[in-house]
Structure 1
Amino acid sequence: MQDMKGETMIRIFKTIDGKIHQVEEASEGCWLALTDPTATEIFEVARKYHIEVDDLRAPLDEEERSRIEVEDDYTLIIVDTPILEERGEKDWYGTIPLSIIVTDEIIITVCLEDTSVLGRFMDGRVRNFYTYMKTRFILQILYKNASMFLHYLRIIDKKSEEVEEKLQESTKNKELIELLELEKSLVYFTTSLRSNEIVLEKLLKVERIKQYPDDTDLLEDVIIENKQAIEMANVYSGILSGMTDAFASIVSNNLNIVMKFLATVTIVMSIPTMIFSAYGMNVNLKGMPFASHPEGFAIVIVLSLLLSLIVAFIFSKKNLF
């Protein structure tokens, strides 16, 4: 099934001879990956695998909350996954819902757009991944999801350091806005990670998701990885919040320094202006100093410059420059 651009909206994958392959027809032990499916595709999958249409549509709503629901014919798991989006020629970070639907026959994932988490499985870059081992597949998705949060959090930290260097000399709001955008991304991440943590805790109690001995360690790793991401997001969020407040004051102080410099220069430059304005008045020249002197013009210029230099020297001593 394809969209207008020719991109397959429903992709079917199956592990054959230990390797992941994209196949044309779904069979038992397959993985159906739905990316921004159309209404027709949703109805077809819902009818074929006896899944509620609303459950298939749920992850297409960006505001959908993370949760687990156990139905008669399937189990629905919805978590938030991190995404990279481009706004104003810059990369920013957010989250969107990702659902995992497990039936007796196959496993289905539904997401609004392609994500780097699922892309690793599609490209065969995940070791010990088999589409027919549904429990392990779920845990591997959740583990890679938590790892991707950590990866993006480290990138956000590096970006904040780059913006920090620019802000030290900045008098504009551009860098502050960048910090606020990064802080907003951290808020999204923290909220999503906490919601995912609740899902992981409930996953421990779902009997239908069989936990084999080999998968127990993986589930523990998923929970630990998610907790680390939460802690890291909280730390970075606190640092970024304090940094934003501090640099807001720095930007304001930089602007005050510029204004002080301009005011000082204006005062120094006003001295020659006052003198020249006095000589330009329509009055009797006999009352003006050096008016009759052959070198009067040069003397007035030199005196004006000397007075300006003296005032500039006084201001420099008072650190007004």
Structure 2
Amino acid sequence: MLEFYKTFEDGTRKIDAAEPGCWINAVAPTEEERNYLIEEIGVLPEFVKSSLDEEESSHIDYDDDFRQTLVIVDYPSADDEQTGEDFTTLQYTTLPLGVVILKGYIVTISLHENYNIEDMAQQRIKGIDTRLKTRFLLLLVLRISQRYLIYLRQIDRLSSRTEMRLHQSMQNKELIQMLGLEKSLVYFSTSLKSVEITLNKIMRGKQIKLYEEDEDLLEDVMIEVHQAIEMCNIYSNILSGTMDAFASVISNNLNIVMKVLTVITIVMSIPNIIFSFYGMNVDGLPFASSIWIPIGIAVVACAIATYIFSKKDMFH
């Protein structure tokens, strides 16, 4: 899918075809659309290929001959999956978004639709101007860093909710959920560090021309990225410690259940021992004149055993 946007005096709006100074948005482009970007717009084939590679990490690349710059930025993505009553599993990952800056155009290329591009297209971000390519790039990266912060807060709330379930749970579902969140934090941390390295290269101004009015915006982006990295590290440490603690708690709960079951088995085996003794086919057994005497002995023995185990707090 190809979309074209351009900023006019009255704002940014969608146009029908590419014009100088416009923004071209390519989402999961077909072979024909890729050829259009390469042959008509002039985007380098390797830039298109890198932008559509799911394993690509954040980096910046520049071609001197064609005077084109490729900036790959990993953005966060989340998928909801309902697994039970009021229990939602969120799987977080990161995907690459390619931004190609070339003469006359700025092109964004991605494999999937994402909120960041939608926010730019719907003008939910102030100051967008497709003619100001550096500012456009920085605003896009700022929105992506803010999206990281939103998802990190979601992870924190979800981990807290899962932790509450773990207080009374002896199943693996909650631990698996927290393991998935911890893995998501690893993805986020790795991608954010790559984004930070890319921003440091942009800050040098060698591959992308920086203007004086963009310096404050770049500082804001760096602050957001640093904050996201710190939050990611904090949540990761907390989640790791929580998982270890609750793994021990679940194991301890299982031991308590096994202890209670063992005590109940011992108490219930006392009547069986007594009745087996009086059930032997021999003469001269004590108190064998009446059936109620063995029953009474069994009841008294069970009561004594229950009292002793209760005193030792073996039923909790």
1:317 counterpart = 2:316 = no
The structural deviation recorded for 1:289 is 4.9
> Is contact 2:278–2:294 with CA below 8 Å preserved after alignment?
no
Distance 1:310 1:167 in 2: 37
TM-score norm. by structure 1 comes to: 0.90
Q: Could you report, residue by residue, the CA deviation over 1:62-94 in whole angstroms, capped at 9, with x for unpaired residues? A: 211211111223210001110012457422111
> Is contact 1:77–1:99 with CA below 8 Å preserved after alignment?
yes
Match of 1:52 among 36, 44, 51: 44
Question: Which amino acid letter does the alignment assign opposite residue 45 of structure 1?
Answer: L
In the alignment, structure 2 segments of 5+ residues that lack a partner are 84-88
Distance 1:302 1:27 in 2: 100
RMSD: 1.9
Question: Which amino acid letter does the alignment assign opposite residue 210 of structure 2?
Answer: Q
The structural deviation recorded for 1:303 is 3.3
Question: Which amino acid letter does the alignment assign opposite residue 276 of structure 2?
Answer: S
The structural deviation recorded for 1:17 is 4.5
> Which residue does the alignment assign to 1:111?
110
> Is contact 1:170–1:254 with CA below 8 Å preserved after alignment?
no
Number of matched pairs: 308
Q: Classify the secondary structure of the residue corresponding to 1:160.
A: helix
1:31 counterpart = 2:23 = yes
Distance 2:200 2:163 in 1: 38
> Which residue does the alignment assign to 1:140?
139
> Is contact 1:100–1:138 with CA below 8 Å preserved after alignment?
yes
Question: Which amino acid letter does the alignment assign opposite residue 20 of structure 2?
Answer: E
The structural deviation recorded for 1:300 is 3.5
Larger mean CA deviation between 165-174 and 243-252 belongs to: 165-174
Distance 1:123 1:276 in 2: 83
In the alignment, structure 1 segments of 5+ residues that lack a partner are 1-8
The structural deviation recorded for 1:260 is 0.8
Q: Could you report, residue by residue, the CA deviation over 1:200-240 in whole angstroms, capped at 9, with x for unpaired residues? A: 01112234633233211100000111111111111111111
Larger mean CA deviation between 226-235 and 65-74 belongs to: 65-74
Distance 1:304 1:178 in 2: 49
> Is contact 1:50–1:73 with CA below 8 Å preserved after alignment?
no
> Is contact 1:69–1:76 with CA below 8 Å preserved after alignment?
yes
Distance 1:120 1:301 in 2: 80
Question: Which amino acid letter does the alignment assign opposite residue 203 of structure 2?
Answer: L
Distance 1:305 1:114 in 2: 73
Question: Which amino acid letter does the alignment assign opposite residue 67 of structure 1?
Answer: H
Determine what percentage of the aligned residue pairs are the same residue. 44
Q: 1:121-200, aligned counterparts within 5 Å?
A: 121-200=120-199
Q: Could you report, residue by residue, the CA deviation over 1:102-147 in whole angstroms, capped at 9, with x for unpaired residues? A: 1121111111211121121122211122222211110000111111
Q: Classify the secondary structure of the residue corresponding to 2:96.
A: strand
> Is contact 1:169–1:254 with CA below 8 Å preserved after alignment?
no
Question: Which amino acid letter does the alignment assign opposite residue 251 of structure 1?
Answer: I
Question: Which amino acid letter does the alignment assign opposite residue 182 of structure 1?
Answer: L
The structural deviation recorded for 1:39 is 2.4
Distance 2:276 2:26 in 1: 80
Match of 1:307 among 298, 301, 304: 301
> Which residue does the alignment assign to 1:66?
58
Distance 1:256 1:276 in 2: 31
